[in-house]
């Protein structure tokens, strides 16, 4: 692995940690007393942070694995009994 690629992965991992930490901080804040405006802002930011984190995770680790579905779910997904799970 080249140094440039290693640095790029390190930067992406740092950004993933930042998103994760933001989400955790927002959840802690939601447990406190907030104004309605503050609460609405934070409730809006949590899903935005999750989406940004998921997009970054998929672009950083673009792997897909096939896992068998439980029988009840497999019956609903004919004819293929597998689904993709993206590792993030």
Q: Which two tokens stand for residue 45?
A: 């930011």
Please report whether residue 79 resides in a domain: no
pLDDT (tens digit per residue) in 24-50: 999 999 999 999 999 999 999 999 999
State residue 1's pLDDT score: 57
Please report whether residue 53 resides in a domain: yes
Please report whether residue 68 resides in a domain: no
Strand partners, 86: 64
Please report whether residue 81 resides in a domain: no
Mean pLDDT score across all residues of the chain: 80
Confidence tier at 59 by pLDDT (50, 70, 90): confident
State residue 45's pLDDT score: 97
Cα 77 versus chain centre, distance: 25
Please report whether residue 78 resides in a domain: no
Q: Tell me how far apart the terminal alpha carbons of the chain are, to the nearest angstrom.
A: 20
Please report whether residue 71 resides in a domain: no
Residue 33 has what DSSP assignment? -
Domain that holds residue 33: 3-62
**pLDDT over 50 at 88, yes or no:** no
């Amino acid at each position: 692995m080249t140094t440039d690629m290693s640095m790029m992965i390190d930067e992406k991992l740092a950004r993933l940690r930042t998103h994760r930490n933001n989400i955790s901080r927002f959840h802690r804040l939601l447990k406190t007393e907030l104004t309605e405006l503050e609460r609405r802002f934070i409730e809006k930011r949590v899903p935005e942070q999750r989406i940004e984190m998921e997009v970054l995770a998929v672009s950083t680790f673009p792997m897909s694995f096939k896992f068998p579905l439980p029988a009840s779910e497999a019956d609903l997904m004919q004819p293929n009994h597998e689904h993709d799970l993206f590792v993030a």
